[in-house]
Structure 1
Amino acid sequence: MSHNYLTETPLLDYQNPAIKALIAQRGWAALAKGERIGAAYDFVRDDVLFGYNSDDALPASKVLADGYGQCNTKGTLLMALLRALGIPCRFRGFTIDKGLQRGVVPELVYPLAPRNIIHSWVEVQYRGEWLELEGFILDQGVLTALQAAFPERSSLCAYGAGTDCLQAPNVAWSGQSTYIQKTGINRDFGVFDSPDTFYADHRQLTGFRGLVYRLVIRHWMNRRVAQMRAGRVPTIPGGDKNLVPAKSISMEKEAV
């Protein structure tokens, strides 16, 4: 099977002028390979704030223009930047239990949310192996607020985080895999050359439910995320019993 891990696609639109200008302004192309990965990763993690866009299947240039994103949209932007920098990368699709979004999704509409929510991470080829990059989803402001709100907790599966090491999660690029939502994963769809291929068959938030999400609910969620970033983490009814991580699936590495 032929794979296209450097190809531009409608979603990975890295020839877009805004993306090309960003790379040129930052001087990323002149860096060594590991530093190129780290520069793109750090930008997507902290310069692009955690938040909810109008759809999962947005072009990278639109995510960049929004200035915020979640797992799927931030991942699309990261993949576009990596491919523009000559770094082979691919998409891996999952679902996560909706409990991971508890506290971000308002309690009034939480029961209406689908049990399984589309999730993804980026796999990057580096030093002869595929590394899994997921730790870019929460910006440092949101992560710091959660750490301060739950100083005694190690495991947390809520507020957009799914980790067993909340106080010291593996989210910084150091040439290794990174994670921040892994413990919420409950289904693995496997590896895809691009997000375009995945979203051709896997979509959520369609029809009337999708319209309500785009026009109302996501803005509500974004306000709650902004409150979290400011140190005001919403209380979840039921307390600790609703913060227990879902059982993570067993992950097997793909062959290089």
Structure 2
Amino acid sequence: MKRYLEETALLDYFHPHIQQIISAQGWTRLTKKEQILGIYNYVRDTILFGYNRADDIPASEVLMNGYGQCNTKGVLFMALLRAVGVPCRMHGFTIHKQLQKGAMKGWYYGLSPKEILHSWVEVFHENQWLNLEGFILDIPYLTKLQSKFKDCEGSFCGYGIATDNFQSPAIYWNENDTYVQKEGIARDLGIYESPDDFFARHQQNLGTIRRGVYQSLVRHLMNRNIRQIREM
């Protein structure tokens, strides 16, 4: 398990801002289950759903941004878990771009690749690996989305969610797997000891020009769309 506890360039859990949050939240004084639950809920709801400048940014930057998506919130989640001694690793995938429709729309949805890089975090707890993906969308955003599409009671794909139970997705953790984008998965890219390893082998299929447009414009449009739903 030692390799699943190591600090890396992305999992920079000795960064002062990360250590400050750990101290303020009192996670080191809790049981392992309480640590996982506390960190899970913090990353899900305190770190809002939104799009950062890139996937491969360090946990400290995600924390300072105060928002993130599957890959970046996963990096922060892993850093916090490892900082308190909970082993974890990353499982990589691609998802169908339809999952982003609504958050991403118009011309920039048309220009986005058909498959988008995705990941969830696997946590070792009580002698088993658990799949944790349900931390991606914060509860206020998800609640407003459910209200906007209140007539949908089964499967839903769009606005950052892909689930077969839209009104009650498996996002609450009690020693179980959690999911919120699983039904949008296209390809399984395997398990990695760290996000550093994952992103060294896989990047979003954007190209130089589209990457620049995403960083300077598209992600801000997407974050505006998400804020408008959260503030409805």
Tell me the TM-score normalized by structure 1. Answer: 0.88
Summarize the alignment of residues 86-125 of structure 1 with structure 2, pairs less than 5 Å apart. 86-125=85-124
Q: What amino acid sits opposite 1:66 in the alignment?
A: N
1:133 and 1:74 mapped to 2: Cα distance? 11
The question of whether the paired residues in 2 share the 8 Å contact of 1:44 and 1:77 is answered with yes
2:169 and 2:107 mapped to 1: Cα distance? 30
Instruction: Provide the residue aligned with 1:162 in structure 2.
Output: 162
Q: What amino acid sits opposite 1:199 in the alignment?
A: F
Instruction: Provide the residue aligned with 1:184 in structure 2.
Output: 184
Instruction: Provide the residue aligned with 2:174 in structure 1.
Output: 174
Following TM superposition, by how much is the alpha carbon of 1:109 offset from its aligned partner in structure 2, in angstroms?
1.6
5+ long unaligned stretches in structure 2: none
5+ long unaligned stretches in structure 1: 232-256
Summarize the alignment of residues 130-169 of structure 1 with structure 2, pairs less than 5 Å apart. 130-153=129-152, 154-169=154-169
The question of whether the paired residues in 2 share the 8 Å contact of 1:3 and 1:193 is answered with no
Following TM superposition, by how much is the alpha carbon of 1:11 offset from its aligned partner in structure 2, in angstroms?
0.2
1:147 and 1:165 mapped to 2: Cα distance? 11
Following TM superposition, by how much is the alpha carbon of 1:151 offset from its aligned partner in structure 2, in angstroms?
1.6
2:2 and 2:111 mapped to 1: Cα distance? 38
Summarize the alignment of residues 202-217 of structure 1 with structure 2, pairs less than 5 Å apart. 202-204=202-204, 205-217=206-218
1:150 and 1:174 mapped to 2: Cα distance? 27
Tell me the TM-score normalized by structure 2. Answer: 0.97
Following TM superposition, by how much is the alpha carbon of 1:201 offset from its aligned partner in structure 2, in angstroms?
1.2
Q: What amino acid sits opposite 2:200 in the alignment?
A: A
Runs of 4+ in 1 over 6 A off after TM superposition: none
Summarize the alignment of residues 193-208 of structure 1 with structure 2, pairs less than 5 Å apart. 193-204=193-204, 205-208=206-209
Instruction: Provide the residue aligned with 1:221 in structure 2.
Output: 222
Any idea what the Cα deviations from partners look like across 1:54-89, whole Å, max 9, x if unmatched?
A: 000000000000000000000000000000010000
Q: What amino acid sits opposite 1:116 in the alignment?
A: E
Name which of structure 1's ranges 57-66 and 170-179 shifts more when overlaid on structure 2. Answer: 170-179
Instruction: Provide the residue aligned with 2:63 in structure 1.
Output: 64
The question of whether the paired residues in 2 share the 8 Å contact of 1:106 and 1:220 is answered with no
